Amino acid sequence: MKKQVQLATRLTQLGRNVKDQYGFVNGPIYRGSTVVFASVEDLEHSRAAFAYGTMGTPTIKNLEDAWTELAGAAGTVMSPSGLGAISLALMSTLKAGDHLLMPDTVYRPTRKFCDLTLKKFGVTTEYYDPLVGEGIIELMRPETSTLFLESPGSQTFEIQDVPLMTRLARERGIKTIIDNTWATPVFFQAHRHGCDLSVEAGTKYLSGHSDLLMGLVSANAESWPALRATYDSMAMLPGAEDCFLALRGLRTLHIRLQEAQNRALKIARWLAEQPEVKTLLHPAFESCPGHAFWQRDFSGSSGLFSLVLDPAWDKAAVTRMLDGLSLFGMGYSWGGFESLIIPFDCTDYRTATRWTHAGQTLRLQIGLEDPDDLIADLRQGLDRLHAPA
């Protein structure tokens, strides 16, 4: 395929070969465990494209190849969930006795994996302020093997200076991993900005329809052998049907992200003008910490952001607001076609930073509904804040 075509065109072509598919547009679903060899010699030397189901299938390889090209990587492996992909990436760079630097704003299940599982295997995790910048040098030790980044941060959307931090890590022989789920490679090219490994929860925008769980890890040439070896030793791969659905989602990823961006920006601008909203935490807005890095490094913004309400409204008032919403569902995950909203409070589990906002906080996922309808739903919800208890 010619590389000079635009991204939207590339997404329609990646991970499929019509000639090998008897002319059908999409590749078939290969399900299976056993692979039959033609001879003893082939069996003994594993002379086959696929030797066993845990090593992949044509369906899985189609998605791996597509994501590798999209991410600008040397290779990709997959997992049945985003957290599984994070675990794979970390296990490929860490060993007993290592020191791991983790942003304090990281996805909470990642924090639990570090504090419970990695700790049990002798890995020390130290949490850092995601906006520390060059100060990260002061936290690096001789035994530091991995610097993890998540930009923007989970829930509160701090944007990190990724090129600076990856450069400082590389100068000291430290591997870098980024959770790039919010932007996807469409809006942020992690490897181009210096990251050794990039994690994506395909559950979110790659799926786009809230009907599958998947994680992907792409790696540069230097980190690819260790990642693939870790993956092969664990055989933690997704099912063929999920890979087929992810490939289908890939075709419209760019269009859906553009629409999510446009609708989210319209709603965020409206929210920023409402008297009940104190602070908007959206990377495309100056009120978001690290906004200048987003302007410099990203080519767009997705449909997920947060806001801080005026401190006048307590939890009971926010409960009235949320319970009466008709278009916004309350549920975890994001990236699907439906809009979601959840309250959150990160004060109890962050250790390297202190959350200083006094108001109640909400995270919004803007789906593909008409934005005017969503705004009307939110306006009615904000009106309920003023209702008597």
pLDDT digits (tens, 9 = 90+) for 12-43: 888 888 888 778 788 888 888 988 889 999 99
Alpha-carbon distance 32 to 47, whole Å? 18
Strand partners, 146: 100, 175
pLDDT digits (tens, 9 = 90+) for 186-239: 999 999 999 999 999 999 999 999 999 999 999 999 999 999 999 999 998 999
Is the pLDDT at 50 greater than 90, yes or no? no
- Range(s) of the chain covered by CATH 3.40.640.10: 7-251
Q: 89 is written with which tokens?
A: 């990436």
Q: How far is CA 267 from the centre of its chain?
A: 22
Are 223 and 196 within 8 A, CB to CB? yes
Q: Which residue in 149, 141, 203 sits closest to 176, CA to CA?
A: 149
Is the pLDDT at 263 greater than 50, yes or no? yes
- Range(s) of the chain covered by CATH 3.90.1150.10: 253-385
Q: Edge-to-edge strand order for the sheet containing 277-281? A: 277-281, 304-309, 361-365, 340-344
Alpha-carbon distance 143 to 214, whole Å? 32
Classify each residue of 27-51 as buried b or exposed e, where b means 16 or more C-beta atoms within 10 Å of its C-beta. Answer: bebbeeeeeeeeeeeeeeeeeeebe
The CATH class, in words, for 253-385 is: alpha beta
CATH tag, 7-251: 3.40.640.10
DSSP structure string for 26-87: SPPPP--SB---SSHHHHHTT-SS-SBGGG--HHHHHHHHHHHHHHT-SEEEEESSHHHHHH
Full-model pTM: 0.94
3-class DSSP state for residue 379? helix
Q: 167 is written with which tokens?
A: 């450069």
Share of the chain above pLDDT 90, in %: 85
